[in-house]
């Protein structure tokens, strides 16, 4: 969801936010014993708030390109689930428990990154528009890339 306020015909402050559902990533990690790889499940979810300033080009046109920038705050929640792991020996011997099941987390990491964006608004009626833009957040390198497409209206 995005809300914005035009200070002038061309200068706009915008606040936008979003969240993801929880995603799982299955993998493995080396065991502290024997060099055996152990299964692990990572669960991630994110929430974000972005505050930015935009400059909209054009005057009373149906098509308005714009450029902007701002700061993005992102909360990344991570949980790691480790399954119990057994080592099997010769037939007839009982399995050896290498590591018990455990859950690490959830841990939340808060990140703040600058971003730049550029796109356009194309008006379909006097107050309703189609909008698309590309946003790049960075911190020494590109960390987040977002493409937004949607419809909106001006009050």
Beta-sheet strands, E only, within the chain: 2-6, 11-19, 23-30, 37-56, 63-82, 85-87, 96-99, 102-123, 128-138, 142-153
Distance CA 85, CA 28 (A): 11
Per DSSP, 95 falls in state P
Parent domain of 77? 2-153
Distance separating alpha carbons of residues 25 and 58, to the nearest angstrom: 45
Section 111-126 average pLDDT: 92
Alpha-carbon distance 95 to 84, whole Å?
Answer: 12
User: Domain tally for the chain?
Assistant: 1
**What are the pLDDT digits (tens) for 70-92?**
999 999 999 999 888 777 777 77
- The CATH number of the domain holding residue 108 is 2.40.160
Q: What are phi and psi of 72, to 5 degrees?
A: -115, 125
The end-to-end CA distance of the chain, in Å, is: 15
pLDDT for 143 equals: 79
pLDDT of residue 155: 79
Flag whether pLDDT at 105 surpasses 90.
Answer: no
Q: Within its chain, how far is the Cα of 32 from the centroid? A: 32
| Structure confidence at residue 53 (pLDDT) | 96
pLDDT score recorded for residue 102: 87
The chain-wide mean pLDDT, for the chain, equals 87
Give CA–CA dist 23/79, Å, rounded.
11
pLDDT score recorded for residue 70: 95
| pLDDT above 90 as % of the chain | 43
pLDDT value at residue 43: 94
The whole-angstrom separation of Cα 92 and Cα 103 is 31
Residue 91: Cβ-neighbour burial (10 angstroms; 0-12, 13-18, 19+): exposed
């Amino acid at each position: 969801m995005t809300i914005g306020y035009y200070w002038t015909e061309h200068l706009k402050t915008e606040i936008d936010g979003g969240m993801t559902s929880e995603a799982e990533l299955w993998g493995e990690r080396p065991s502290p014993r024997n060099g055996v790889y152990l299964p692990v499940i990572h669960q991630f979810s994110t929430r974000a708030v972005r505050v930015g300033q935009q400059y909209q080009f054009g005057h009373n046109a149906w098509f308005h390109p714009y450029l902007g920038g701002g700061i993005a705050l992102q909360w990344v929640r991570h949980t790691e689930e480790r399954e119990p792991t057994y080592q099997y020996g010769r037939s007839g011997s009982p399995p050896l428990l290498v590591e018990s099941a455990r859950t690490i987390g959830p841990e939340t990491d808060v990140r703040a990154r600058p971003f730049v964006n550029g796109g356009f608004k194309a008006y379909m009626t006097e107050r309703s528009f189609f909008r698309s833009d590309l946003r790049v957040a960075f911190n020494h390198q590109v960390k987040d890339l977002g493409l937004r497409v949607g419809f909106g209206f001006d009050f």
